Amino acid sequence: MNTDLQKEFADYTKNLNAAGKDERIKTALTRAVHAYRSTVDETLQRFPHTPELAAEVRELKAEAVIKRDDLLRQAMESVERNKGKAFYAADKQAALALAREIIGKGKVVVKGKSMLGEELHLREDLEEYGNEVWETDLGEFILQLKHDRPMHILSPAIHVPREQVAEIFSKFFGKEVPPDIAQEVAVVKEFMRDKFFQADVGISGANVVAADTGAMVMIENEGNVRLATAAPPVHIVFVGVEKIVPTFQDAMKVAEVTWRYAQYGVPGYVSIITGPSKTGDIEKVTTYGAHGPKEFVVIFVDNGRSTMATEPEFSAALHCLRCGGCMYECPVFQVTAGHFGHTYLGGIGTVWTAFVAGGMEKAAPLAYTCLRCGRCVERCPMQINIPAMVGELRKRIVNGEGLGKEEVSQEEAS
């Protein structure tokens, strides 16, 4: 087989160069990088135990990759024991098929921010199937209206200034919304409030999952995840299998390290959800769907993660907590934002693009964009060696080698 990547490179380069000349991106990123560094520096001083905790998390994440099959089984059993429903989706198609089957058509869906959602194009697929789907995270909502993709995993609309937000909102709401951030926030709150309570289904991701208890841990500031997971009668969690750790205690460690490096300082909300809403207040008879969802569903998605786990050169990329710290430190990301990326962004995103969302063809231009300068590793609480992984990817690209154990499976097949 022969794949001509020259057009892929040419298109990507054109887009990247345009981003590199976009003053809005540079201004927004310069502010964001400054804010990120000062918040993280300050909170690391306030909570000096964090690096040590990060070291513990590195160990337990590495262990979790090894025990991934057991942990998945255990997590699914825990969800079922808690009267939730647990599903496993081997790939994107399977995950979307489950979503369509469970949700159906003609429903109103409210959704929290999720990189897995981006990876699956979950909102677009559910809309195509005939549902009304709302991104409830403010940044994601702006991008939904703008028909744009996230430019940072935690601050998806990092590249859109208030003036542009005002234009987008004025058009959508059919009334003049001034370029005033407080008023922009208020107008969305008013609109979304109804959607939360009208919705048939709420969708969220999870930052970490505890296998022993089946606890889904979600970190946020806006409160939209709280509402989206509590108000509708059905709550569906889409979560990557790499997010599972053995115990509840482990999950708390992962959560704290995640939010510290994700610039939350101390997050506004941490939700821990283990099952459907229930009450036993009348005659001690357990009844489901008290104030919260009556149905609780967890879809564990693999979609290339197990392949990554089997590759010693890349398995550590599964330790990624999605704190986004590396992106702020990346000199290319600082001038191009998520244009250095496909669905997943920056250096770590290059590896995830290769295995999970895009494949080698999409990953190749990204792999050669990376400077391999290594500052991301200095920031990364998991110390993921991105430059080494990018080097390995380049080697496979020039040699035309694939990913995973393809050769073995071919031998097995014959």
Partner 1 sequence: MAVEMKLPPVLDIIRSNIVKYGNPLALKGGEVAAWAKSLNLPAQGELLFYTGGEYQLLPYIDTLVKTMTKVDQASKGFSLLMGVRNVLDKAGINAEKMYASVLAKDKERYNTVCYKAAVILRQLGYELSYSGEHELYSGALLYELGYWDDLRAYAPKVANVIAQSGAKTIVCLSPHAAEVFKYVYPKLLPDFAFEIKTFVELVWEKRDLLPQVDYAAPVVIHDSCRLARELGIDEQLRDILTSVGVQQREALRNRKWTTCCGGPNKLLFPEISHEVAERRVNELTHTEAETILTSCPYCLSALENGNAANAGVEDLIEFLYRGVKP
Name the site residues for partner 1 (rule: CB under 8 A). Answer: 1-7, 9-10, 13, 16-17, 20-21, 331-332, 334-336, 360-361, 364, 368-375, 377-378, 391, 393-402, 406, 410
Identity at 386, one-letter amino acid code: I
To the nearest 10°, report the CA torsion of 56, 57, 60, 66.
-130
* Minimum separation from the CB atom of position 341 to partner 1 (A): 13
* Minimum separation from the CB atom of position 61 to partner 1 (A): 23
Task: Read off the tokens for 387.
Answer: 């430059």
The residue (of 106 and 402) whose beta carbon lies closer to partner 1 is: 402
Q: How far apart are CA 28 and CA 11, in angstroms?
A: 24
Cβ atoms 279, 287 nearer than 8 A: yes
The residue (of 178 and 391) whose beta carbon lies closer to partner 1 is: 391
Residue 102: which residues within 8 A CB-CB, separation 6 or more? 234, 236, 297
* Minimum separation from the CB atom of position 159 to partner 1 (A): 16
The residue (of 208 and 354) whose beta carbon lies closer to partner 1 is: 354
Residue 73: which residues within 8 A CB-CB, separation 6 or more? none
* Minimum separation from the CB atom of position 30 to partner 1 (A): 9
**DSSP character at residue 22:** -
Radius of gyration over every alpha carbon of the chain, rounded to an integer in angstroms:
21
The residue (of 79 and 370) whose beta carbon lies closer to partner 1 is: 370
* Minimum separation from the CB atom of position 18 to partner 1 (A): 10
Q: How far apart are CA 287 and CA 282, in angstroms?
A: 9
Q: How far apart are CA 405 and CA 407, in angstroms?
A: 6
First to last CA, the chain: 20
The residue (of 113 and 396) whose beta carbon lies closer to partner 1 is: 396
* Minimum separation from the CB atom of position 384 to partner 1 (A): 15
The residue (of 10 and 266) whose beta carbon lies closer to partner 1 is: 10
The residue (of 13 and 249) whose beta carbon lies closer to partner 1 is: 13
**DSSP character at residue 280:** -
Task: Read off the tokens for 268.
Answer: 């506004």
* Minimum separation from the CB atom of position 27 to partner 1 (A): 12
Q: How far apart are CA 207 and CA 301, in angstroms?
A: 14
